[in-house]
Amino acid sequence: MPATTAVLDRLYATIRERKANAPAGSYTASLFAGGRARIAQKVGEEAIEVVVASIEGKDERVVYESADLLYHLFVLLAGHNIPPDAVYAELERRMKP
């Protein structure tokens, strides 16, 4: 498994663990406590930050904000009990041979 996939799998596992155990002081647990609307709001905010960084031509900032966006998107997926594999399968389905 490529390192990129492994890090995403580890991220999702950590998010699921925080959802299940809600450790004190965990940002991830606080997102789940805020509910789906709060999580969705954060996904939107991070997407806008990626767009702004791209428009401004700040490549390092695009990378940083994209990591934030992926993290929050994975929190959203975990909130719906959707594994990333479902998204990967949909992307694969859309690819033309």
Domain residue limits at 8: 3-94
48: domain CATH number? 1.10.287.1080
pTM for this prediction = 0.92
Q: Nearest CA to 78 among 15, 31, 14, 3? A: 15
Number of domains in the chain: 1
Q: What is the pLDDT of residues 46-65, one digit of tens each?
A: 999 999 999 999 999 999 99
Tens-digit pLDDT profile for residues 24-36? 999 999 999 999 9
DSSP state of 40: H
- Integer Cα distance of 26 and 20 in angstroms: 12
